Structure 1
Amino acid sequence: MKMQDLTGKIAVVTGASSGIGAAAARLLVAEGVRVVLVARRRERIDALAAELGDSATPIAMDVTDAGQVEALFSRVRETFGGLDLLFNNAGLGVFGDFANSEPADWRRMIDTNLLGLLTCTRTAIPLLRGRAGAMIASVSSTGGRYGVEGWSVYCATKYAVVGFHETLRKELGADGIRVSVIEPGAVWTEFGHNVPAEALRDRRQSLDALTPEDVAQALVYAFAQHPRVLVQEILVRPVRQVAP
């Protein structure tokens, strides 16, 4: 296959401390990309940066803090002069029946999964303009297509991510900025606040769940297309996951 050479490209990966974010960072670096690792857990991204060497720059920050987001992309501009890929991966979900849910948990999910993504995206756009093959890629979920019991607010945020990307694609297409959304099904990650670890493990084993590396490959596949090509949406799930 004829793919774009990614050597020397600059990427920002949020939620890079574990799971899909860490896997994406590893694969991007393997393809020659210089990656800015973003997450709240400093020790995790410092360890990942030590593993990846000079191609990785760790920056500990919270995507829900607009001031920290502004400082992040100012540093990217000063250090690299621009940006080729923003991978909005940071996110969280709190499980539970909506009737008994807590507004504080709603806000946590909305602030991270939606408002943090919007803030990072708007701040990154000026750095992406004029860069051939520039891309904004974000992680949604199969829960952004189908409602799943116990995940009502989480699904609402992921539906919003899909709708936002469909509109943003139209707004940025004339600038040559590609906008892509990745919708994974069940994945072996730390995801699942207040869900018993045993319950998560049993479900993932029964489905032969995706690995974070599977999702990272979907990202790099989309990013490495010729700059004229947009892989707008990737829905990827385990073969055995026959229901949302």
Structure 2
Amino acid sequence: MADSLNGKIAAVTGAASGIGLAATEALLAQGATVVMVDWDQDALKALTARLGERAIAQATNLLDIDSSKAMVPEILEKVGHIDILYCNAGTYIGGDLDETDADTIDRMLNLNVNAVMKNVHAVIPHMKSRAIGDIWVTCSVAGHAAIPWEPVYSSSKWAITCFVQTMRRQLREHGIRVGQVSPGPVVSALLADWPEENLRKAKESGSLIEPSEVADALIFALTRGRNVTIRDMIVLPTNFDI
């Protein structure tokens, strides 16, 4: 039997658009309160006004060391506790390695890997003290296959796959579940850096999924009984050839 999320408190990073916004809407529909974490304060203001009082804005720049460090304490000042942390924020680099630059690589690895690890590190003492919690991360099918047109992105997601598997083992005895959802190509701004030919083929073949379909998978995992951990879900467009 599925567990209810009614009354739970979730924090979602990258919540102002794409998968993060879809996850926020799905969690709200399940009765949860959602702290929407994003750097875009204008978007947060508009979205929380639209979504209602159970949507709470948290302006955080995950690429800023001090802002990222303050995220969990500031959330706890607003809501008291965190039942669910969904580390969703990320960015993308496609193309050959020599087509990008070092600064762009640093930015992507800091957001896709370092920020996730630091956010999880920050919430662990709180969840341990309550002996319960759920930590979820948006990974990618690129974290399970070596995608030749996105070597930096794919490497960052392989790192997250390893991180999730190790943290699940570290935290399970403390009542904390850890898992990831690994989508294939999702209709979002991140695909703007895809090679044009690959994006065209994906659109023509129907090889893209909507952010709401990733959110559906997240809700399924979160509503399993506490004796069940869904560690990893790969959610692919049916026509995606990889």
State TM-score, norm by structure 1. 0.93
More deviation, 136-145/98-107? 98-107
Pairwise CA distance, 1:15: 0.6
- Looking at structure 2, the residues matched to 25 and 217 of structure 1 have their Cα atoms a distance apart, in angstroms, of 11
Give matches, 1:57-206, under 5 Å. Answer: 57-131=56-130, 134-195=133-194, 200=199, 202-206=201-205
- Looking at structure 2, the residues matched to 114 and 203 of structure 1 have their Cα atoms a distance apart, in angstroms, of 27
Give matches, 1:229-244, under 5 Å. Answer: 229-243=228-242
Which residue of 1 is the match for residue 21 of structure 2?
A: 22
Pairwise CA distance, 1:95: 1.6
- Looking at structure 2, the residues matched to 224 and 197 of structure 1 have their Cα atoms a distance apart, in angstroms, of 38
- Looking at structure 2, the residues matched to 201 and 58 of structure 1 have their Cα atoms a distance apart, in angstroms, of 36
| Unmatched segments (≥5 aa) in structure 2 | none
State TM-score, norm by structure 2. 0.94
- Looking at structure 2, the residues matched to 149 and 110 of structure 1 have their Cα atoms a distance apart, in angstroms, of 18
Compared CA separation, residues 213 and 39, structure 1 to 2 (3 A)? same
Contact 2:132 2:174 in 1 (8 A): no
- Looking at structure 2, the residues matched to 204 and 107 of structure 1 have their Cα atoms a distance apart, in angstroms, of 30
- Looking at structure 2, the residues matched to 196 and 101 of structure 1 have their Cα atoms a distance apart, in angstroms, of 13
Pairwise CA distance, 1:78: 2.3
Contact 2:94 2:195 in 1 (8 A): no
Pairwise CA distance, 1:16: 0.8
SS at match of 1:162: helix
Compared CA separation, residues 185 and 77, structure 1 to 2 (3 A)? same
Contact 1:13 1:88 in 2 (8 A): yes
- Looking at structure 2, the residues matched to 8 and 40 of structure 1 have their Cα atoms a distance apart, in angstroms, of 26
Pairwise CA distance, 1:131: 4.3
CA deviation map 1:158-193 (0-9, x unaligned) = 000000111101110110100001110011111135
- Looking at structure 2, the residues matched to 206 and 3 of structure 1 have their Cα atoms a distance apart, in angstroms, of 35
- Looking at structure 2, the residues matched to 42 and 113 of structure 1 have their Cα atoms a distance apart, in angstroms, of 21
SS at match of 1:192: helix
CA deviation map 1:41-82 (0-9, x unaligned) = 122222221111000111121112232123221122223221
Letter in 2 for 1:178: R
Which residue of 2 is the match for residue 53 of structure 1?
A: 52
How many pairs align? Answer: 242
- Looking at structure 2, the residues matched to 31 and 117 of structure 1 have their Cα atoms a distance apart, in angstroms, of 25
